[in-house]
Amino acid sequence: MEPMGVSGYELAKALGFPGIYEIVRGERAISPDTAIRLGKYFGLPAQFWLNLQNDYDLRVALGSGVGKKIKPRKVEHDRELTGLSRAQVSLA
């Protein structure tokens, strides 16, 4: 927050959300509600803040070793799906 020229106190007051301190310390996630508040304050889309949270959550999960012992499923028909997007696959 300091690089953005705002203190934690100023941000919490502007957002009407004292939980900002917990988010900064990694004790609380950015919720959609908080993402909207941050987006309005900083002039960025709420999705930007949710993407930051998702990226952080994924890095934490990867660092914990989740999935290391899982072997990828390999079957013949999966090759047909290689070029498809997730949206196309879910519609099939």
Cα separation, 81 vs 37, whole angstroms: 39
Split at pLDDT 50, 70, 90, the class of 16 is very high
Q: By residue range, what is the domain housing residue 22?
A: 2-91
Angle at 53 between CA 58 and CA 22, to 5 degrees: 115
**For the chain, how many structural domains are there in total?**
1
Tens digit of each residue's pLDDT (9 = 90 or more) over 41-52: 999 999 999 999
- Closest C-alpha among 34, 28, 24, 33 to residue 2: 24
Find the CATH number of the domain harbouring 38: 1.10.260.40
Which H or E run contains 23? helix 20-24
What are the backbone dihedrals phi and psi of residue 11, each rounded to the nearest 5 degrees, phi first?
Answer: -65, -45
